[in-house]
Structures are given as C-alpha cells and as structure tokens.
Amino acid sequence: MRVPDGVGFNRIADSVIVLLCTGWLLLFHSPASTVVLIAALSYLAIRANRREPILRIAEYVVTYNIAQSGDALITEEFRGVRSEFLPVREVQDAFESRSGYFDTPAYPDCRPDSQHVRWRWLDAGGPKRRGQTEFEPRLHSSPIDFVRRLRAYNLVAFNQRDRRDNGASPEEAQTERIRHFIGARITLFVLRVTFPDKLPEKLVAEARTAKQAKVDAKETVRILGKQVAERTYELTIEKPRIGYRYQLTWSLPVDEIEQLNLGLQAIGLANDATQYLINAQAGMRQAELRHELDEFAVQLRQQFATPELNLSLYVYRSLNTVGSLVCAAGTNATNSNPGRIQVGRTPVGRCYRRNKIILFNSLVPKSDDDLAYEPVPGEEKLQPPTIACCIPLPCPTPSGRKIGVLYLTTRSNTGGLAGLFSDPQLAADIGKQVLAWYSVRVPAALGMKDTLFLREKGRAE
C-alpha cells in the first residue's frame, strides 16, 4: 500500500510557468526572453523526469493499528504541510490491495478550519487504484495540518502460508513487513505499528532504495527504532530521503499456531477430508455431495421462509505452495464453477482468510466506490446476491484446521435471512447448524468412514 507521496508533475503550477514565459516572449521578442523561456522549459523537463516533490511537510506521523484479521486501521497525521513552489490543488497517488476492496480515505480533521481536504478516486477499481487528495483552497506557502484515516484489508499476514497464498514467493513469505514510501520533503517522519497481541520477537528496521529495493546500510543506521508501548513499535527518522521506502520487518511462523498445535490424529483426518473434497471437485462422488447440498438447501429455505437459496462448498487446495479455494460442489451449475478463488478475495476467500463468518447485504445503501462484494467465479454476470453468508469449515470440528467454506446466497428480497445482520446470535446459530450438518452428512456423501467430528482428545495436549 502507498500513501500520498506528494510527488509529481504539478500540471497547474507548471502550466502557469509556461504561459507566463510564453507571454513574456510574445511581448518583448528579445534574446533574453528566449533564454528565459528555454530555461523554464528545461526546468519543467527536469521536474517531470525527476518527479520533484511538490509538498513540504514539517512532521509526518503514520500509525498502523493491526487487527486480528490482518486488516489495519491507518491514521496519518500531516503537520506543517505547504506547497514547495506554486499553489497545489491536488496530489495523485496509487493504492494496491490484497483483498480487492479499497476503503475510501477520510479526512476527519483539518487546520485551519477554513481548509478542506478530500479524496477522489480516478478509476473504477481493480487490484490497483488511482486517486488524489484535493485541497480547497489550494496549498500555498502557509502551512496546514490535517489527518487522514483509512482501513486496509488483508494488509498483514501472520504466517508463511497466508503470505504465499497472497502471491509471495517462498523466500518472501518468511517475513512480513510494513513499509512506507517517501515522496515529499519531510523534516521528521515517524512510522508507528501496533500489533494485535504482542510484538514479534525480532523486528528489523530498513531503508531501501525505490528502484532496486536494495537496503541502504548508511541510511538504515539513521533510523531510531524503539518500543513505545506493550504492543507498539516506532521508527523515527529526521529528513528521510525522497524516493526511499522505510520499513519494519519481522519473521513469520510456517502456519497458524492453532494449526501447528493439532495432534497427529486430527491432522490425518483434516488431510483425508481435504483430499476427498478435492476428488469431488474432480468428479468423484460429486453427485452424492450435490444431493446433500440440495437437501440442506431445502431445509434452510423452509427454516428461513425464503423461496430461493443456493449453497456451494469450497475446499482449500494448494498447488506449488500457493493455495486457493475451488468449488467441490454446488446446488446449481453456476455455483459449481471450476474457477479458483484467491485467499482473501471475494466473500469466500475473505471468510477463509479470517476464519470467521462473513455476511453481505446488498440492500444496505453503499457509495459508488464500495467494492466490498466481489463475485465468485461463475457469478460475474449476475447481480450481487441480496444476502450472502460464508461459514468457515474446520476439520475436525468444532475446531481444527480450516479446510473450506460453505457459501450461502439468496437473491430473494423476502425471508428471514436478513435477521443475520440484526441478531448476532442467529448468525452464530446458523454457523453451528452448518457445522453439525457438515461433520456428518459431508463425509457420508464422500464415502468416508468417519465423521469430521473429533473430541478434544484428538488434539495435542
């Protein structure tokens, strides 16, 4: 993820320079005027080539508050911000997302009160999006202060498997990092990271060049790193170098701690269940599994008085160390699409990544840039479901390795499923109901000898 870098070809300011110099040349037609115009154009070419900064910031403090889900609330405090040269109306920037969903930045506080700052997206979406921070009135030499806040989804992985599933190489997946690009002249830069439970055992601060991403040892030495709270670590650097990335890096375990603590019997059962579901996705006993899904869907339609409800069962499959989710079977052809879902993307991938129930309600009004819902493979040309509910499937149950997700959708505007959003207990109850069905009926359909339920004695003591 990147933040407003304050770097770029300031089109308005630079156009003013060109117009003034051109007007001077037309008025006076002197050799001196020609020299001035050539010098101005040369200056603009250098600015465009070097991407000279157009902002100067006295103090820039950015705080990442990382949640258990891997999301992060990012709060940026800009103090003493002013134009580097001519007035600035906007600063463009780019964002990348591991979740496919971008939160729209908010600016809850600006000083002086007459200053207004807002965000505007410049494109419709995708894994990368461009937008710009807009200033009204324009930035001049008088400094302003403002705060920007946004949430980044799936920003941080807590184990190597999640990192690989997000596209990192096996070598890259050994560590996680929070990094920040510097694109403005900053007097004091502070990068603060708050972890959800405790600080990692070893934290490494680095300064890297932008192009080659190589560690600059001399610049790294200038970084002052210290623990400032029980779960918070802070990096401070005076006059950081423009075009550099300053980052905090830490090592990751191979897998989730809960998964590593499973006993051998539980691991064997999880491996067997995963393989049976992968075989079903390839066609083995898929008809039997679809029959069980059909029967369960009928039961849920009657229970929630909804005329239309579909179910799909997705299983986690790893190929060449990169995992994704594929549909083992569904209640209709659309829900049995063979496409892969990246972990962390779509409601299904987000459910697996977070290991908790994910709900979506298209009846709730949303802004045009809200991309909280991504269609699963096979539903790209359909309207988003009225309600979607994703339930993680562990093996063994009730707690164990997460091996898949049950995806429940309805495009009906009637029925009791809307109660999932107003009654947390109802969501918890349907989660238990799904696990009770899944632990008995799914292994029976797949021809497994055992249920997917295993008492706690099957776990490591």
Q: Who wins on pLDDT, 30 or 142?
A: 142
Which tens digit of pLDDT belongs to each residue from 88-132? 999 988 888 777 677 889 999 999 999 999 999 998 766 788 999
- In the numeric block, which tokens belong to residue 48? 């465009």
Q: Is the pLDDT of residue 411 over 70?
A: yes
Q: What is the pLDDT of residue 33?
A: 61
**Residues 158 and 70 sit within 8 Å (Cβ to Cβ):** yes
pTM: 0.81
Which pLDDT does position 50 carry in this prediction?
Answer: 44
Contact call for residues 150 and 130 (beta carbons, < 8 A): no
Q: Class assignment of domain 53-251? A: mainly beta
- Which DSSP state fits 345? S
pLDDT of residue 456: 46
Q: What is the CATH number of domain 257-458?
A: 3.30.450.40
In the chain, where the domains are located: 53-251, 257-458
Rounded Cα distance between 449 and 444, Å, is: 8
Give the helix ranges, DSSP H, for 307-376: 346-354
Which tokens sit at 245? 């990335």
pLDDT reading at 240 higher than 90: yes
Residue 126 three-state SS: coil
457, with CB counted inside 10 A (0-12, 13-18, 19+), is exposed
For 293, the token pair is: 């899904």
